[in-house]
A and B are shown apart, each in its own frame.
Chain A
Amino acid sequence: MTGDPLWAIFINACLINNFVLAYFLGICPFLGVSAKLATASRMGGAVTFVMLVSSICAFGIQELLVAIDAPYLKLISFIAVIASTVQLVEMFIKKVSPALFRALGIFLPLITTNCAILGLALFQTNKGYNFLQCIVYALGAGIGFTLALILMAGLREKLELAAVPDVVRGTALALVLAGLLSVSFMGFAGLGG
């Protein structure tokens, strides 16, 4: 896998193996924050940023752990780094845009428990990517996550106006939508490797 060209890694993370729709990572914010288009795109931005930073940190940690021969500390140190990155982003957003901070609400600290970010850190070490590949992989995954979130938000805004039976409203409807999106993303499977 190490010889993959950068564009293939990007397309792979962004479309073919989209983190939300193919790996089921980050479903909680995907269902929770996708009701409004504006919030969804900003959430996507925040997640992409955290992904980039934690991917870079995870790369460093992995090198260090291999050097001191302590692979069993991998999980614990990854999650600690992610938690502190999220704290940083939270303080930054609170300072720069209090409105956005309120809109994201509880989902901002929950980025810590967003599986997409820990998943990214684990996948990149499993695949043995080098530094540049890691950054491209994180960027692709982040953009793919944002893309799925925005598509979903757009669909849900339209669905607010649709007449559906009471039973279907809420999470069940969102899940059916996600399923249909996932089917359409499978169309990308022929692209790249």
Chain B
Amino acid sequence: MTTMTAKMPTTTDEFVKGLWRENPVFVQVLGMCPVLAVSNTARNALAMGLATLFVLVMSNIVISLLRHFIPKQVRIATYILVIASFVTVVDYLIQAISLDLYKALGAFISLIVVNCLILGRAEAFASKNTVGRSILDGLGMGIGFTFALLCLGAVREIFGSGKLFGFQLFHDGFQDWVVMILPSGGFFTLAGWLLLFNYLKQRKERLERERRLAT
């Protein structure tokens, strides 16, 4: 990695930007549907994140390879078909690995097709950049997405059932906040995280302004 970054200073940037500065969920607010729907436990959230990561990287590779051959008029339809093929692969993979997980995620695995994040990266990045950079972009965005899903899933599982990845965290006296497992809990948790990020961003801006004024 170090040799690569020495040659191309922007390459790591493609990877890192998805993790934090342009985090797909917290900053760009993309791909909300799976984020809210399957984040009721940390395990589901992790599985969904990894599935999306796989589809994102694979479709980025294929679209980047084909970028000179796809006519401009039908590009969106082509992207969707490429993405749909990989989602079908993931759908059967998860079914083969764990039937429990498959049942828990349900139709939301198929719905990765319509995750705006994947189509967005195909259109905004993979169709204009080389394969290597597209892979890094896909990895960064995918890991950022998984991280965000885990943030939500962990909070909802801890408060909603007093567990994390199925392990009991509190003793028996803990009263579950049932609302966190229910759909409305997803909205509240995400709102909470966004609030936190907004607050941090504003604080950083204020501090910078004050520093500029001081000098």
Residues on A lying within 8 angstroms of B by beta carbon are: 21-28, 31, 72, 75-76, 79-80, 83, 109-110, 112-115, 117-119, 122-123, 126, 166-168, 170-173, 175-176, 178-180, 182-183, 186
Instruction: Find B92's partner among A72, A110, A126, A175 (CB 8 Å cutoff).
Output: A72
- Whether, in the assembled complex, B119 has its beta carbon less than 8 Å from a beta carbon of chain A, the answer is yes
Residue of B nearest to A122 (CB): B107
Number of residues on chain B facing chain A (CB within 8 A): 40
Does A76 contact B107, Cβ atoms closer than 8 Å?
no
Does B183 contact A115, Cβ atoms closer than 8 Å?
no
The DSSP consensus for interface residues of chain B is helix
Does A115 contact B84, Cβ atoms closer than 8 Å?
no
Residue of A nearest to B32 (CB): A27
Which B residues touch A170, using CB under 8 A?
A: 198
Shortest A53–chain B CB gap in Å is 17
Chain B 121-138, CB-CB to A under 8 Å as 1, else 0, gives 000000000000000000
Shortest A188–chain B CB gap in Å is 13
Residue of B nearest to A72 (CB): B88
- Whether, in the assembled complex, B10 has its beta carbon less than 8 Å from a beta carbon of chain A, the answer is no
Q: Which of A113, A171, A176 has the most CB of B within 10 A?
A: A113
- Whether, in the assembled complex, B190 has its beta carbon less than 8 Å from a beta carbon of chain A, the answer is yes
- Whether, in the assembled complex, B33 has its beta carbon less than 8 Å from a beta carbon of chain A, the answer is yes
Does B199 contact A80, Cβ atoms closer than 8 Å?
no
Chain B 163-199, CB-CB to A under 8 Å as 1, else 0, gives 0000000000000000100111111101100110011
What are 25 A-B pairs with beta-carbon distances under 8 A?
A24-B32, A24-B183, A25-B37, A27-B33, A27-B36, A28-B33, A28-B116, A72-B92, A75-B84, A112-B76, A113-B114, A115-B114, A115-B115, A118-B111, A118-B113, A119-B111, A166-B202, A168-B198, A172-B195, A173-B191, A175-B187, A175-B190, A183-B182, A183-B184, A186-B184
Which A residues touch B199, using CB under 8 A?
A: 167
Does A79 contact B182, Cβ atoms closer than 8 Å?
no
Instruction: Find B114's partner among A24, A109, A118 (CB 8 Å cutoff).
Output: A118
Does B113 contact A31, Cβ atoms closer than 8 Å?
no
A128 CA / B110 CA spacing, docked (Å): 17
Shortest B102–chain A CB gap in Å is 13
Which 8 pairs, one residue from A and one from B, show the smallest C-beta to C-beta distance? A179-B187, A175-B191, A182-B184, A27-B32, A24-B37, A24-B36, A172-B194, A115-B33
Which A residues touch B84, using CB under 8 A?
A: 75-76, 79
A-facing residues in B73-108 (Cβ within 8 Å): 76-77, 80-81, 84-85, 87-88, 91-92, 107
